[in-house]
Amino acid sequence: MSFRSPVFLFSALGGLLVATLAFLLICESAAAKQPAVTGVRLGQNPPSTAKGTTRVVLDLTSAVPYSAFLLGSPYRLVIDLPEVAWTTNGGSKQETVGLVERLRYGHFRPGNSRVVVDLMGPAKILRHSVLTKPDRIVFDIAPVGPARFKPGQKVGLKGWEPPSSESIPLPRRKPDGLNGKRVVVIDAGHGGVDPGAVRGKTYEKRITLAIANAVKVQLEKSGRYRVVMTRSRDTFLELRERVETAHENKGDLFISIHADTHPKKNTRGASVYTLSEKASDKEAAALAAKENNADAIAGSPVDPSVYSDETIDILRDLQRRQTDRHSAIFARMLTEQLDTKGVGLARRKAHRFAGFVVLKSPNVPSVLIELGYLSNKDDRQMLQTSRFRSRVAKAMLASADRYFKYVDDLARR
């Protein structure tokens, strides 16, 4: 039989088809079998003392590599994994066991999931290992004196490194198809390993994303806006990355969405914040400090340059002042529209200001909105309803329309 015979060709094609199908099946089962963390457990030895060894166990469906390091101020153990599914409930544990004050876990960045363990004090990693049948990763940590604390030193399985933030591209503006549309950047606060405020099973990061999505739909439906989301899934972003997304996409407006908690259970309502070095009040200053702590919460090293002011350049200073003025104008319009559309405002002055890092774009007018308090039962329930989301979205559209009309009128003068 010649190799060119139709029979051979047929069987070769058939073989190729079988191989392709087999390949697709393997791919499918590989995708279905993404490793999952089924439990995050804490234990201590001896029990009921912070002096002994504290054990952190990650239960897995299959073996994964890991890498871990310690961080100071505040003391933390950070465990990086490849991207895994989480079949555990929630994303945080608020209990205190041994040296562990509480912990958070979730998606950190593409290809990287993370567990952040808050520690009561300085510690060292005594042991770390992968165990099989059942698959799990175990860390034993023990307290040490502050002088013997070694932050930043990496331990883990050789041959695996979590991806670096530089290797992940930001969503970019499409070069065409804008048709004169304004670009509004919507920033769903927190995400992934940083849950934001937590009350029971209610997570700020989920509320902010659901509301951001509703705002996107409403703004885009008008045909007047293109909306860029800083995140559209449950992933972590550094504050710097949120600011950069607005800049990279040539945003005309940046809105960061949050929900707060308050020690007083009856405190409720929405507030709109803009950037200012001097806070409007003590509570606003405390809130900014809390929101600015997001990077530390997720175990990211905090870049001090983000906090410093680079206003030596006069042009930059002028631009900054112009941006601040526009931010304040939009904040006032948004506050009015929230009120008109039935989104309850906080009882005290609803437009306040403080030094939020996420609002530090030099040329994109930016506001941060705290839509309510998870510590208030009524707010907590309301924040999760589609009725509330729709009110917020309508207020955002109406205030954006007013704001850009103001900007256009100003340009025509």
Residues that bind Zn ion (CB under 5 A): 189, 196, 258
Q: How far is the CB of 22 from Zn ion (least distance, A)?
A: 48
Q: How far is the CB of 256 from Zn ion (least distance, A)?
A: 8
Task: Output 84 or 257, the one with its CB closest to Zn ion.
Answer: 257
Q: How far is the CB of 363 from Zn ion (least distance, A)?
A: 24
How open is the CA angle 268-270-271, to the nearest 5 degrees?
120
Task: State residue 308 phi and psi, 5-degree precision.
Answer: -85, 160
Q: How far is the CB of 270 from Zn ion (least distance, A)?
A: 13
Which residues, at least 6 apart from 53, have a Cβ–Cβ distance to it below 8 Å?
Answer: 44, 45, 98, 126, 140, 141, 142
For 177: left if phi > 0, alpha if psi spans -120 to 50, otherwise beta; the answer is left
Quick check: 157 and 65 in contact, CB under 8 A? yes
Quick check: 103 and 95 in contact, CB under 8 A? no
Residue type, 353: F
Residue type, 381: Q
CA dist 54 and 75 (Å) reads 14
Task: Output 192 or 196, the one with its CB closest to Zn ion.
Answer: 196
* Both structure tokens of 391: 């009110």
CA dist 194 and 358 (Å) reads 15
Task: Output 44 or 208, the one with its CB closest to Zn ion.
Answer: 208
CA dist 217 and 389 (Å) reads 11
Task: Output 117 or 257, the one with its CB closest to Zn ion.
Answer: 257
Q: How many CA atoms lie within 13 A of 263 on its CB side?
A: 3
Helix axis angle, 314-340 relative to 386-412, nearest 10°? Answer: 130
Distances (CA, A) of 378 to 17, 43, 125, 355: 59, 36, 43, 29
Task: Output 67 or 274, the one with its CB closest to Zn ion.
Answer: 274
* Both structure tokens of 64: 């994964």
Residue type, 370: E
* Both structure tokens of 135: 């698959």
Q: How far is the CB of 58 from Zn ion (least distance, A)?
A: 27
Q: How far is the CB of 396 from Zn ion (least distance, A)?
A: 17
Task: Output 228 or 358, the one with its CB closest to Zn ion.
Answer: 358
Q: How far is the CB of 188 from Zn ion (least distance, A)?
A: 10
Q: How far is the CB of 204 from Zn ion (least distance, A)?
A: 5
Task: State residue 119 phi and psi, 5-degree precision.
Answer: -105, 155
Task: Output 258 or 391, the one with its CB closest to Zn ion.
Answer: 258
Task: Output 258 or 394, the one with its CB closest to Zn ion.
Answer: 258
Task: Output 189 or 355, the one with its CB closest to Zn ion.
Answer: 189
Residue type, 206: R
Q: How far is the CB of 394 from Zn ion (least distance, A)?
A: 22
